[in-house]
Amino acid sequence: MNQTIFQFFHWYTTAGGTWWQHFQEIVPQLKEQGITHVWLPPAYKGSKGPTSEGYDVYDLYDLGEFDQKGSVATKYGDRDTYLSAVRYAQEQQLKVLPDIVLNHKLGGDAEESFAVLRIDPENRTNVIGDPFQINGFTHFTFPGRAGKYSSFEWNFQSFSGVDYAANLPPEEQGIFKILNDYGEEWSKAVDDEKGNFDYLMGADVEFRNPYVQEELIKWGLWYYDTVHPDGFRLDAVKHMSWKYYKKWIAAMRAHADKELFIVGEYWTADNIEAMLRYMQQTEESMYLFDTILHHHFHLASCGEYDLRQLYDNTFTAHYPQYSVTFVDNHDTQPLQSLESPVQPWFKPIAYALILLREQGIPCIFYPDWYGASYRDKDQDIELPAVGELSVLQIARQKYAYGEQEDHFVSGDLIGWVRKGDPAHPLTGCVVIISNHEGGHIHMQYPHFSGKTFINCLNDTQVIQLSEDGGADFYVSGKGVAVWIPVEAHE
């Protein structure tokens, strides 16, 4: 079976502590649709308690068990419901990939006073002025947990920087480099955007601190033994020491009793060199999301675009065996931090490109399957479900096998043939895409000479292959057609 990941959340997932229960109820549908992996949101307590999306990490050990930050349960539910949902999904042969956020913490329990340097936000290597003292919420004691699972307390030595000083007025806030025992400079084992992109948000974890290193590995082993996940989605890896993450992953894999599927988020719209360098630095220890391909989808959906350039300088083009492809996610959806949504008309095209091609493992976004609506920043947003998506996913599991032959004939008309696999009888398909007017591409499919093909997205459209296996496969304007043998469709 072809692997397919499902991102089972979005930024505006309904609060109220019922999401894990909802997930468990939906598991049979996902299994029936040929989903193999499910990416779940961060399960631990965030600084906003019952409304936290999980990326404002407060306590990694609190999976909805302790009365902290205004609630016991997280936005998604309590610990028992979470563990039950994970176990049920795995019983149904779905692999579970929890979201892991180790880069930063928010919501400290007490203030500390420490020396800092003010940093230029656009060039993080540029220091503004002399060292001075600030008060920051960097002491994490987790009183609600009272030492259960771990007695480790975080203090300013555990962090490399903050963006809030409790003793400064709003106009004097900024990015502050903490002068801890591990140096006046940021870690160099990170991305070099903005000069140095160690700092992202909140209290930035100091991965040069050996006690922090030990604690996060200890937590990872505890989390594995508690949840028994099948892998992880790693958040914001470009902002963290690649040296440490390589060590952390090795520790998890050595401890696990099964193969772990690990995919990292290295966000860039166009810097393929940085992604390739990261893969070399980490010795190909994880998959990466192809954020560059997503950006190309976004651009293609917003105006004139040469479809032949979709894969130029993408991670998929360079590392197809380690690429996870996607159309949108919780960061790119409207009103979010990396807002770059793919327009609705192009989404069926984009999903055909990730689901029906040989390269990459595709990831489906929850609102694209189920739809979503929300209000934020005085705006009402409606994300319609992609009507063709379930058919495309079925086509992936039934027909998208075998060698791939591309026919990228013009800037607004491309296609490819999947030649099928003897291990999967009656497999293979022909896909054709247009981002302008309708058209056709003549393609050869000798294996099905003389056979009738049908467009599985519109079963009123049929064509007859010639005796040598050739045919003009066509598509309507701004659309996608997936041609399969009639006998396979019946």
Please give the single-letter amino acid code of residue 338.
L
18/15 Cα distance (integer angstroms): 7
> And the tokens for 121?
């936000």
Residues 262/291, Cβ–Cβ less than 8 Å: no
Which three-class secondary structure state does DSSP give residue 19? helix
Distance, CA of 3 to CA of 115 (rounded, Å): 50
Angstrom distance (rounded) from CA 212 to CA 220: 12
Contact criterion met (CB below 8 Å) for 449 and 476: no
- H or E segment and range at residue 474: strand 470-475
Rounded to a whole number, what is the distance in angstroms from the first to the last CA of the chain? 20
User: How is residue 227 annotated by DSSP?
Assistant: H
Q: Which residue has the tokens 């903490």?
A: 178
Active site residues: 235, 265
Token digits of residue 365? 């976004």
Query: Which element (helix H / strand E) includes 299?
Result: helix 291-302
Q: How many Å apart are CA 3 and CA 238, to the nearest integer?
A: 26
Give me the half-sphere count of Cα atoms (radius 13 Å) on the Cβ side of residue 259. Answer: 3
Neighbours of 377 (CB within 10 A): 7
